[in-house]
Amino acid sequence: MSAVSLLTVSEAEGEQRLDKWFKRRFPQLTQGHVEKMCRTGQVRVDSARCKASDRIVPGQTIRIPPLPDHAAPVVKRVSYTPADAKMIQDAVLWKDEHMIILNKPPGLPSQGGSGQGDRHVDGLTEALKFGYKERPKLVHRLDKDTSGLLMLARTDRVARALSEMLRHRNTRKIYWAAVAGVPHPRKGSIKYGLMKGGRGYGDSEKMICVHPAKMADYPDAKRAHTDYFTLWFLGNRISWLAMEPVTGRTHQLRAHIAEMGFPIIGDGKYGGSSTENMGDGWGAGIGGDLSRKLHLHARMLKVQHPITKEMMTFIAPLPEHMARTWKTLDWGENDVPLDPFGGDE
């Protein structure tokens, strides 16, 4: 394209991120090129400046600057070993022609990125095609060291529908965690805002909690809400929590519960000292025979099937290191309510 043009988002394209729309319309463009055009104001949505991550809807008009005609360099698909293919296929809990539900192992990133290497769920989706031409698409993420339920869509239509459900909080996710100390009260809500560190606010890789009363003082902070419920505890040293993220901010559960003084076992980023915790709520290391891996697991997912409209509930078994901890502490997975927050058990 050698001239500026205006294109309208069609009903068939549906609601989606602007960068995804560009990649489908103009596959020769790289992600970096799209972001630069948005950053410099060359791309506009309904005449307004925009970000590559902004969501667009049918009927909106996109200003398209002159674009290169040549294709972007072919990116070599991340190769994977037969062992990796077996690992990711063994992680499939359920699938149909529309969706795949994984029980993601701990230590496996959802996507590539800074410091994540080449081995991640998104890079292994080639092994999850199961006869389809296209790879399934991630519609949300889990932190690298968090295990548990992860949804993938097998078509663009389903990806848009699931993304919409997540954005409007029409799904429910309950996580299990082992934390240092015992929260008081035993159940409650955490509503600290969250903002990314750096620029004078500490570690740039961490999320900083902001008291709800001070949100106006920090324009970069976003509101966040976590409900928690203490399912079991051992003295005053360690607790088994259920946590439900009402919002879905980066590192939300880890940052919120650590801010309360009860970091998740094995969380070196938010747990502070790794010294053995003696019950004061500090330190993410509990000592003894318990694993030092992160004890955070996406245990339950409730979602309406985007095509059949059936309400479905998925349960992910604990990863090996958490199962060992539960056995050591004599905690029974079936001895607690599936949904302690008032839903159906």
Each residue's pLDDT tens digit, 51-97: 998 999 999 999 999 998 766 555 555 568 999 999 999 999 999 99
- Interatomic CA distance for residues 338 and 317, integer angstroms: 12
pLDDT category, 278, cuts 50, 70, 90?
very low
Which residue has better confidence, 51 or 274? Answer: 51
Percent above pLDDT 70 for the chain: 88
User: Contact, 224 vs 194, CB < 8 A?
Assistant: yes
Residue 210 pLDDT > 90, yes or no? yes
Look at residue 262 and tell me whether its pLDDT is greater than 80.
yes
For residue 116, the model assigns a pLDDT of 55
pLDDT digits (tens, 9 = 90+) for 145-168: 999 999 999 998 999 999 999 988
Q: What is the reported pTM?
A: 0.80
How many angstroms separate the CA atoms of 298 and 242, rounded?
10
Question: Hey, what domains does the chain have and what are their CATH numbers?
Answer: 5-64 (3.10.290.10), 82-168 (3.30.2350.10), 173-335 (3.30.2350.10)
Please say if 143 is a catalytic residue.
yes
Q: Which residue has better confidence, 296 or 29? A: 296
Closest to 142 (Cα-Cα) out of 104, 94, 93: 104
pLDDT tens-place string over residues 93-112: 999 999 999 999 999 999 87
Q: What pLDDT sits at residue 68?
A: 83
Taking alpha carbons only, the member of 239, 224, 157, 151 closest to residue 192 is 224
- At 294, the pLDDT band (50, 70, 90 cuts) reads very high
Given 122, 143, 145, 227, the catalytic residue: 143
What pLDDT is attached to residue 273? 52
Report d(CA 214, CA 329) in Å as an integer: 40
Region 211-230: what's the mean pLDDT?
A: 96
* End-to-end CA gap in the chain: 57
